[in-house]
Amino acid sequence: MSSELRLFAGECTTTFEGTRSRTQHGYVVVMVKPDDTVLVHDADGYQPVAWLTRPDEATVEHHGDGTDTGDAEFTITARTGDQNLTVESCGKGAVRTIPVGEAGVPVGDCVESDCAGTLARTGGDVACVDCGMRYGLPAGATVLEKRCDDCGLPQIRVERGETFEVCLDYSCESLNDRIRERYDRAFDCPDCDSDLRIRVTDGRPFFGCEGYPDCETAFSIPAGVVVGLCDCGLPVFETATGQRCLDGTCDSYRE
């Protein structure tokens, strides 16, 4: 979901008090981001001439509209610890409020009703840049060009023992259900010989001993594919950093 970026432009005096105190004067553009980060830019280069990132406190005061006529006077203050940034307009300036949100790699179109927004991959999520609908991605997931036949969202490819291709929306097609169908009871607990079950905590699947709570053996499932069996009887995974036993502390397996 987009938030508001506030822009202020005009002749200003900028004062920074802190480790390197300084005062600057000139025609600048000031950006106040949704997290209250203040950036002061002049005409030279890409680096701001003054800034304060995510301050503990920020206030903006302006008088007059300034939207079309450039007749606003404004004062911006931001403080973090012993650092203070003040930007004060000298005469009349302009003020704008502009929608702003996350930016990422476009991966498809939103399928929510009454929304024609673009889905973008932003870090560990896929989110609509318009309505803000968000889908979490498992670690190491690849977003595919393929679309789900049921809902139209992109499919994702995830390696958890084998390669699974499922819908981006867990409520449409559950990756955890696919993992459970493939690996529930597929291996024995190395400590008590009971079946290892696929269990889920906080949305994340893992191998847990059927004998719990008498046996508390459990293993997280690494991002990778099974390529064999360790001497201990557990599967060996090929991961981005090399091969490893499901039990990351196992002394039986050596590449």
Q: What tens digit of pLDDT does each residue of 226-255 get?
A: 999 998 899 999 998 899 999 988 876 555
What pLDDT, on the 0 to 100 scale, is given for residue 250?
87
DSSP SS3 for 113: coil
Asked whether the predicted pLDDT for residue 4 surpasses 90, the reply is no
Q: Is the domain defined by 3-100 classed in CATH 2.70.180.20?
A: yes
Task: For residue 89, give Cα distances in angstroms to 7, 15, 17, 177.
Answer: 13, 12, 18, 59
CB 222 within 8 A of CB 159: no
Q: What tens digit of pLDDT does each residue of 11-21 get?
A: 999 999 988 88
Quote the DSSP letter at residue 224: E
pLDDT band with cut points at 50, 70 and 90 for residue 66: low
Peptide bond into 213 cis (omega under 30): yes
Single-letter amino acid code for the residue at 73: E
Burial of 132 (0-12, 13-18, 19+ CB in 10 A): middle
Burial of 85 (0-12, 13-18, 19+ CB in 10 A): buried
DSSP SS3 for 246: coil
The tokens describing 54, both together, are 């995510």
Cα distance between residue 215 and residue 197, in whole Å: 12
Where do the structural domains in the chain lie, given as residue ranges? 3-100, 105-176, 183-245
What percent of the chain is modeled with pLDDT above 90?
71
What pLDDT, on the 0 to 100 scale, is given for residue 180?
96
**Mean pLDDT to the nearest integer, 54-64:** 88
In whole angstroms, what separates CA 216 from the centre of its chain?
Answer: 32
Q: What tens digit of pLDDT does each residue of 158-203 get?
A: 999 999 999 999 999 999 999 999 999 999 999 999 999 999 998 8
What pLDDT, on the 0 to 100 scale, is given for residue 1?
47
What percent of the chain is modeled with pLDDT above 70?
95
DSSP SS3 for 176: helix
Asked whether the predicted pLDDT for residue 38 surpasses 50, the reply is yes
The tokens describing 99, both together, are 């929608």
What is the overall mean pLDDT for the chain? Answer: 90
Q: What tens digit of pLDDT does each residue of 104-157 get?
A: 999 999 998 888 889 999 878 999 988 888 999 998 999 999 999 999 999 999
Q: Higher-confidence residue: 73 or 85?
A: 85
CB atoms near residue 26 (< 10 Å): 14
Burial of 108 (0-12, 13-18, 19+ CB in 10 A): buried
Rg (CA), the chain: 27
